[in-house]
Structure 1
Amino acid sequence: MISRASLAGWYRNRFVWVAVILLTVSVGVTVLLNSSGSKAEPQDLQTQIMNQMRTTLEQSDPGQHNHGGHTAQQAAAGKDANPAVICGVRVYGYEPATVTALADVRTVYGFHLCGVAQPKYPWDVAVKLAGPVILDMSKNPPGIQVVEATATVKYIDRLKEMFPPKYADLAQKEALTKAEMDDLRRRYDAAADL
């Protein structure tokens, strides 16, 4: 037969263990919520470069988006004095390739697709600027070079002149990912008030 004292001790210990377990779980949940909800994880270098590239292109003077002799500003003239330029980007690579901090990146090679967001102009009729691009990160603001053919140099030859071979090969095959294109369209629609 179990004595009343030992039975009471068993119940008390059981409640103590339940309390300890509940306390442990609640502390664990609190730590998890605080670590994931209030503090953003640092971005990897590739993401930092992509964000810097997008910001540079979107905030640059529209004249720097010169394609085929037309600037974003000229293309949108008469529709909106200060059109928003919304860009999707893809980073092919950067130099020096061994750096680990954004501040140490000197040159970025990639692709850009930008739309000039005029109010109520859907994406399909928007002025677009697209193609391989190089950002000179040693300048402030970063310098922008787009690949264009000239009267004497074909586009592909110009691409190979400007880009290192490994990035020139990528530029001939790859543009935006589906996720980046979806994000570009969402941000363009918001800027064009659609």
Structure 2
Amino acid sequence: MTTRYSRYVWAAVILLAASAGAVVLADSGGPKAEPADLQAQIMTRMRTTLQQSNPEEHNHAGHHVQPTATGEPAKPSVICGVRVYGHEPSDVTTLAEVRTVYGFHLCGVAEPDRPWDVAVKLAGPVILDMATEPPGIQVVEATADVMYVDRLREMFPDKYAQLALKEALTDEEMADLRRRYDAAAGL
């Protein structure tokens, strides 16, 4: 279990270090009314940048790219779904003003004819530093000294940590992720 967990953590770290994105954060009193286009812009930015990671980096997770009929390695696609917990500052109205984003991601590495159930997947709460280009990304991971839940609470403000402990992708986002994954894998 520890080796498998470490493999996924490293895969997530590699994927996220090579990618960037954004997530909109919820207000402490629950979701606040965001301009619809700001929410969509942040989700699109996050999804797009997470999906731009270099597929060869997944070899570090024990994942090996399968050769094609020509003997060349197939180029897998990274397909991601995202969930927005909130952003700071919470009162901004444009993407350019967002500095920090708290959210969740689930990405699958889509290779030709490889079904979702056996795909390499990377998932968990993330923090995006939108003040840098490309945005900096931190994933929540346990250490030898700190349990996962404790690390999450260290990294996330309480209002977002509570969401991260109980909410992942919406059913709609998960269905969209699976549809896009199947299309990318040629299924």
Are the counterparts in 2 of residues 111 and 132 from structure 1 also a CA contact under 8 Å?
yes
| Regions of 4+ moved over 6 Å | none
Q: 1:78 aligns with which of 65, 76, 80?
A: 65
Are the counterparts in 2 of residues 123 and 185 from structure 1 also a CA contact under 8 Å?
yes
Give distance in 1, aligned partners of 2:54 and 2:134: 10
Distance apart, 1:60 and its partner CA: 3.1
Judged with a 3 Å threshold, the aligned counterparts in structure 2 of structure 1 residues 142 and 184 are, in CA distance, closer, same or farther, namely same
- The residue type equivalent to 1:159 in the other structure is L
The two structures have a TM-score, normalised by structure 1, of 0.71
The reply on whether 1:134 has 2:127 as its aligned counterpart is yes
The reply on whether 1:106 has 2:106 as its aligned counterpart is no
Give distance in 2, aligned partners of 1:82 and 1:118: 7
Give distance in 1, aligned partners of 2:183 and 2:60: 22
* Residues 85-115 of structure 1: per-residue CA shift (max 9 Å, x gap): 1000000000110100001101110000000
Give distance in 1, aligned partners of 2:170 and 2:65: 33
Q: 1:156 aligns with which of 149, 161, 167?
A: 149
Distance apart, 1:121 and its partner CA: 0.4
Partner of 2:42, secondary structure, is: helix
Are the counterparts in 2 of residues 73 and 83 from structure 1 also a CA contact under 8 Å?
no
For residues 1-194 of structure 1, the aligned pairs below 5 Å read 43-61=36-54, 72-75=58-61, 76-79=63-66, 80=73, 82-194=75-187
Are the counterparts in 1 of residues 65 and 75 from structure 2 also a CA contact under 8 Å?
no
Are the counterparts in 1 of residues 130 and 136 from structure 2 also a CA contact under 8 Å?
yes
- The residue type equivalent to 2:142 in the other structure is A
Distance apart, 1:55 and its partner CA: 1.0
Partner of 1:134, secondary structure, is: strand
RMSD: 1.7
Higher helix share: 1
* Residues 16-43 of structure 1: per-residue CA shift (max 9 Å, x gap): xxxxxxxxxxxxxxxxxxxxxxxxxx95
| Structure with more contact order per residue of length (Cα contacts < 8 Å, sep ≥ 6) | 2
Listed as ranges, the gaps of 5+ residues in structure 1 are 1-41, 64-70
* Residues 33-68 of structure 1: per-residue CA shift (max 9 Å, x gap): xxxxxxxxx9521111111111121113469xxxxx
Distance apart, 1:73 and its partner CA: 3.7
Larger radius of gyration between Structure 1 and Structure 2: 1
